[in-house]
Structure formats: C-alpha cells, structure tokens
C-alpha cells in the first residue's frame, strides 16, 4: 500500500494562481531538495507522518470541498505523489499541484493543473531549474516567477521572450513577501505591457502566513 509523508492537511482559501480565493483542501507533503532564501514553509522540510493514500482520501471526505491542492515542500520528491494525484482525479476532485519545477513534471496525470515555480536568481536555487519542463507546459498549466528585486524581474522578462512562454501557459509574477514592493512590481509589468498575471499571496494578507491557514 503506497504511503506518503504528510506535514499537514487543512482547508483554507487558495492564496495564489487562477483559483485564488476559492475554498481548497491543501495536502502538504514533507521534504524538499531546495533551500530558497525566501522559503515560507521550512517547517515542511522534515518530520510529518506517514499516511496511506487510502487514509488521505478518507480524511478528505470530512472537509466537503472538491478542490484539492498538493503542495510542499516539494511534493514530487516523494515517488508516490504521482499516484496520489491520479487517485484524487479518479475521485473527481479538481486537483492542482504546486511544484518547484526542479523535478520532472511529465509523469503527472494530465488531469492535474500544474503550477510550476521557475526559480529566479534571487531564490538562490535557479541552477536547479529543470528547463526540460518548459517543453511539457500546456494551456492548463501555470508558470510562476517569484520576484525579489529588479534583477529577478529582468531575468524573468528575458525568460518569457527567450522561451516564448506567454504562448505556452498562463504566467504569474509574484513579489517576495516583505522584500519586493508589490506596487513597484505592478508598475514594471504595466510599463513593459507584459502579458502576465500579477498576484499577491492572499493567505499572507489575511492570516499573516500562519501555518495551516
């Protein structure tokens, strides 16, 4: 029986991407091979508890929410994550995956909406970007750039042009909370007329980034 190490399962409003504001069950898997300087989920690097996929699905029933986000850490670092995603789809949940993009996304069930965080230089982990993932993008996916300063912005803008990313999927630009001024980032996007979605993390605005919210 397949098992995963789980940090937490909880209900909140989706704070990012194109389902922002909608009630969602979050399944946070434990462990991550990256160490981004602005990481806000360091508590998920270790610990957690082992759960079978059957027990995870059973727990979801009590939440009475049909939208599920599998996140981390880095969820794809656990081999059974792809099985969990498929089982969730089979159970007729609307499923999204939040991944760093450092690991291969091609085995993920095509019914899943993949939100891929392409690491900018300011993250300290840009060298771990798996660029082959860009060839796997579909219109259903979303590609996120977390912007910490002007250099990150210029790098991200160059990536859009070099890889023609705006024609591949929806693009998200998000300021690093507490570092990059969001109004300034919005102004840069408008000045350059970028075809990207500006976003701020709703959960941080509402609950100051409390775990489990």
Is 80 within a domain? yes
Cα–Cα dist 88/83, whole Å: 9
pTM for the predicted model, two decimal places: 0.92
Q: What is the pLDDT of residues 28-85, one digit of tens each?
A: 999 999 999 999 899 999 999 999 999 999 999 999 999 999 999 999 999 999 999 9
Contact between 15 and 30 under an 8 Å Cβ cutoff? The reply is no
Cα–Cα dist 186/198, whole Å: 7
Q: How far out from the chain centre does Cα 116 lie? A: 6
Percent of the chain with pLDDT over 90: 87
- Domain span holding position 173: 3-207
CATH for 140: 3.20.20.70
Spatial strand order of the sheet with 3-13 comes to: 49-52, 3-13, 23-29, 67-71, 94-99, 113-117, 142-147, 170-175, 197-198
Q: How many domains does the chain have?
A: 1
Is 92 within a domain? yes
3-state helix, strand, coil in the chain (%, to 5): 35, 25, 40
Is 213 within a domain? no
Q: How far out from the chain centre does Cα 59 lie? A: 22
Is 212 within a domain? no
Is 200 within a domain? yes
């Amino acid at each position: 029986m397949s098992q995963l190490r789980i940090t937490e399962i909880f209900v909140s409003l989706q704070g990012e991407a194109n389902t922002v504001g909608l009630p969602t069950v979050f399944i946070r898997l434990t462990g991550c091979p990256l160490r981004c300087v602005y990481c806000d989920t360091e508590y998920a690097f270790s610990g957690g508890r082992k759960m079978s996929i059957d027990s995870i699905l059973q727990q979801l029933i009590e939440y009475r929410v049909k939208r599920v986000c599998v996140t981390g850490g880095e969820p794809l670092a656990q081999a059974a994550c792809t099985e969990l995603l498929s089982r969730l789809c089979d159970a007729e949940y609307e499923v999204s995956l939040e991944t760093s993009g450092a690991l291969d996304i091609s085995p993920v069930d095509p019914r899943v909406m993949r939100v891929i965080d392409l690491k900018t230089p300011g993250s300290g982990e840009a060298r771990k970007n798996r660029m082959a993932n860009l060839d796997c993008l579909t219109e259903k996916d979303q590609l996120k750039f977390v912007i910490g300063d002007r250099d990150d912005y210029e790098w991200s803008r160059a990536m859009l042009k070099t890889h023609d990313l705006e024609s591949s999927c929806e693009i998200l630009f998000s300021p690093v909370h507490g570092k990059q001024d969001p109004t300034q980032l919005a102004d840069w996007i408008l000045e350059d007329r970028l075809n990207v979605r500006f976003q701020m993390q709703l959960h941080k605005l509402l609950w100051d980034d409390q775990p489990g919210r």
